Structure 1
Amino acid sequence: MDILSDIVKNKREEVASNKDLYPIKFLEQSTYFESQPVSLKKYLQKDDKSGVIAEIKRKSPSKGMINEHVSVERISIGYMQAGASGLSVLTDKKFFGGSSEDLKVARSFNFCPILRKDFMIDEYQVVEAKSLGADVILLIAAVLKKEEIERLGGLAQSLGMEVLLEVHNKAELENSITDKVDLIGVNNRDLKTFKTDIQTSYDLSGLIPNDFTKVSESGISDPDTIKELRKHGFEGFLMGETFMKSSRPEKAAKEFIKQLE
């Protein structure tokens, strides 16, 4: 869990700095702040979509640099043309090589739902996500108490956004469920060992109440895996590295999604 502690420590410093540079009143002046967010839940249920939430990710703590030559415009448009149900954009700079600018670029070229993928620990980040044009925020059970999830999730919902709660095991799931989240994502990657095991999704699927849209995250590289996950009630499939390790992620996504048809 040391890497997670480092990320959260860095995030607190980053948020404190951003509050001084861009006060909330400034964020609320954004063009996107008054716009109506797009529902990821609805897009995941569309018959003409794949359920794939395609991610733009340059690097990760476990894999290092995955793809430094990223055109957010080209990849995001290509992902949606390939049949993705939504986009996930990393905005953490230090550990994942992303930026707020990446999300703004993706938003300016796409009408689809966009998840802001970051480590959310403060209400400021929720308002910031809305100002960038995000439709969904990620809350990670491993770094938040239930009352924090309810507070951040409630604020996001009051701004019209949806909330994806990420869990890694049964304890996190049982201790974090609240009506302040809309989708529950099972991360198949163990945060301690960084090993991925799809069995985690299968094990937790039956424990997730049907009120929540189920999303499986990490370690998906075979179309047959998605077909099996669907049998367990999953409607969303968050995929990043499988596509991003290709020199043309959008083409890799197109070929993968075609095999789901």
Structure 2
Amino acid sequence: MKNILDQIVDQKRIEIKQKQQQTSIEDFKQSSFFTQKVRSAKASILDPNKTGIIAEFKRKSPSKGFINQHANIKDVVSGYEQFGASVVSVLTDEDFFGGSFDDLNEAKQILNIPILRKDFIVDEYQVYETKAIGADLMLLIAECLTKDEVFNLAKLAKEIGLEILLEIHSEDQLEKVNEFIDLIGINNRNLKTFEVDTEKSKQILKKLPEDLIKVAESGISDPEVVKDLKAAGFQSFLIGENFMKNENPGNAFQEFVNQIK
């Protein structure tokens, strides 16, 4: 029986084939965003005037269904930026996470900080697409890519000016880190079982290359956990559901930030 990650990747490959019939890579290269220089997530995370938090806009998840179906993205992400987010992450997967390119586009219209496209990138077509829709940073998930695939996708992303966040979950995925990666995230949540374990993340952290920005991802709801992970050596924290489950995610973000100062 396939786990949820396998199901998502299978669906993503079907989507890509359908999209290729409508929009070509050459079409992407004509986008107004394609030649623009991206905003650096690395620089924004290291900015002492910001929190280091990658604040996520997420309408739903495969495990919990809708979290905040009717949230207004401009209201949410403007709150994130106002109260110190370093980066905003926007889900663009529609079937499993309720995201869309429209969400990312609306965020792009008002934000002055970098945007991470959060999706399941498995094909070069999506790399060009990511730049064309205005994202600054692209997620690669080691769990669903081979070492060579991570290398080729990251290399292409760098060639067209994107930054790359590589997400890993286990020590055996460290071999997939390469010279084109800018940030490395350790997902506290196992994508196959959805169990959360921050202690395991701290153990993997000790084996990461020193020159990469380290991001703790998923399952973070307690400001004390952020303090603990920061003390362990993490520089950034990807948090979404904890804010999005509130009626006003921007206010929830502000309250969280006040507790980690």
Q: Same fold (TM over 0.5)?
A: yes
**Aligned ranges for residues 79-118 of structure 1 at < 5 Å?**
79-118=80-119
Name 2:221's counterpart in structure 1.
Answer: 221
For 1:154, the equivalent position in structure 2 comes to 155
1:152-179 deviation per Cα after TM superposition (whole angstroms, max 9, x unaligned): 0011111111110000111112x21111
Q: Give 1:232's aligned residue.
A: 232
The Cα shift of 1:26 comes to 1.4
Q: In angstroms, what is the RMSD of aligned CA positions?
A: 1.0
Name the residue aligned to 1:256: 256
By how many angstroms is 1:200 displaced? 2.3
Output the CA distance in 2 between the equivalents of 1:9 and 1:36: 32
Unaligned runs of 5+ in 1: none
Superposition deviation, residue 68 in structure 1? 0.2
1:223-251: per-residue Cα shift (whole Å, max 9, x none)? 11111111121111000100000011111
Cα drift, residue 192 of structure 1: 2.5
Give a deviation string over 1:20-73, Cα, whole Å, max 9, x none. 111112111211111110111111111110111000001111111111012111
Does the 8 A contact of 1:190 with 1:196 survive in 2?
Answer: yes
Which runs of 5 or more residues in structure 2 are unaligned?
Answer: none
Q: Does 1:47 align with 2:48?
A: yes
Give secondary structure in 2 for the equivalent of 1:112. coil
Other structure's SS at 1:142 match: helix
Which residue of structure 2 aligns with residue 74 of structure 1?
A: 75
Could you tell me which amino acid in structure 2 is paired with residue 165 of structure 1?
L
Q: Which whole-Å CA distance do the structure 2 matches of 1:60 and 1:116 have between them?
A: 16
Count of aligned positions: 260
TM-score of the aligned structures, taking structure 1 as reference length: 0.97
Q: TM-score, normalised by structure 2?
A: 0.97
Partner of 1:183: 183
1:162-206 deviations in whole A, cap 9, x for unaligned? 110000111112x21111211110000012221111112211110
* 3-state secondary structure, aligned to 2:214: strand
The structure 1 segments of at least 4 consecutive aligned residues displaced by more than 3 Å after TM superposition are none
Q: What does residue 37 of structure 1 align with?
A: 38
| Separation in structure 2 between the aligned mates of residue 114 and residue 200 of structure 1, nearest angstrom | 28
Aligned to 2:212: 212
